[in-house]
Amino acid sequence: MVSKGEFKMNLGFYVNKSNLEGKNSMIFGLLNNAVENKKVMDATLFYNDIDFNPMQTNFGMFNATELWAFTGTLISDNIRNTVHAMNVVNKFKLLHLFDRTDKDLMSLLALADRVEFLVENEEDQKEFYRVTKRKAKLINLQNIDQFLETIK
């Protein structure tokens, strides 16, 4: 039974590589924390390319070809992955983690009304609004409770 304040969802991230570069180390830490503290029913990482990862993981890791089997909340970390996930026929809530270094502005504008956007900091939030005139939710990848409250 789920008590008040608990979140029991399937949480997934979709990244390019399964290594610890860029945001991945924070994403891996967040997923490990979510599983270890029983904040989610299940946690999964989908990737396009497998790479060396020295971090022990307490969550499933699958190639992106397995997205069709996922249900829950899926967060993509780049525009190409978001477009790919949108073409998968399944029941998942898709969110895009915007980063102002992802410069595919035409695709970003095309996605702006189709998925919910998340940002890690106020600079990205301001840039996203400047480009799309839409607000993105500010998340904290270091605090699982705040993160889950924001994305629910």
As a whole number, mean pLDDT of residues 5-10 equals 68
pLDDT tens track for 62-88:
999 999 999 999 999 999 999 999 988
What residues contact 16, with CB distance under 8 A and at least 6 apart? 47, 48, 49, 77, 78, 81
pLDDT surpasses 60 at 109:
yes
**Residues contacting residue 136 through CB under 8 Å, at least 6 positions apart:** 98, 117, 118, 119, 124, 125, 128, 129
Which pLDDT tens digit goes with each residue over 11-57? 999 999 999 998 999 999 999 999 999 999 999 999 999 999 889 99
The pLDDT confidence band at residue 8, using thresholds 50, 70 and 90, is: confident
Residue keyed to tokens 């993981």: 57
> What per-residue confidence (pLDDT) applies to 1?
41
- Kindly state the average pLDDT of the residues 91-103: 89
Tokens of 27: 């994403």
Largest CA distance in the chain: 44
* pTM for this entry: 0.90
Question: Which helix H or strand E contains 49, and what residues bound it?
Answer: strand 42-49
Close Cβ partners of 101 (under 8 Å, ≥ 6 residues apart): none
Q: What is the pLDDT of residues 47-65, one digit of tens each?
A: 999 999 889 999 999 999 9
* Structural tokens at position 143: 């605090």
Q: What is the mean pLDDT of residues 129-136?
A: 92
Q: Answer for the pair 18, 54: CB distance below 8 angstroms, yes or no.
A: no
Q: Does residue 63 contact residue 46 with C-beta atoms inside 8 Å?
A: yes
